[in-house]
Amino acid sequence: MMKRKVQYYETDMMGVVHHANYLHWMEEARIDFMDQIGFPYRRMEAEGVFSPVKSLQVNYLKPCTFGDEVEINVGVKDFNGVVITITYDMRVNSEPVFSGTSEHVFLDRNGRFVRMRRMMPEFCEAIEKKTEGKDNHGD
């Protein structure tokens, strides 16, 4: 789980968070999740593995405003060793404000698919441990 405070610059003239900022928060939370499971994205890139976004699905449930503290829970919905689907549940004061998923592929420096079970089996084990017995939203 990650917490962040809504900054003034993230809001629009109506005083609510601009919709594009939620995508930034998804990325921040995904990077934080990778750190938590012991595989910082910088390390993966150094080892020649990249994980670009394949698709996004988002649901805006309730607007956030300046000063809100947003709690972001991240989980793994699906992982087959080549493609991972990550879930995001954002809440303010325990109230849902956003949910979404991002699907990522694993590629090498030449843009070829990487089979993570072969290249980084310890990453696969960490994903499985983190999601075992969980409700697919991390902690």
DSSP letter for each residue of the chain: -EEEEPPGGGB-TTSBB-THHHHHHHHHHHHHHHHHTT--HHHHHHTT-B--EEEEEEEE-S--BTTPEEEEEEEEEEE-SSEEEEEEEEEETTEEEEEEEEEEE-B-TTS-B--HHHH-HHHHHHHHHHHTTS-SS--
Catalytic residue among 12, 108, 135, 139: 12
Residue 32 falls in the annotated catalytic set = no
Which are the catalytic amino acids? 12
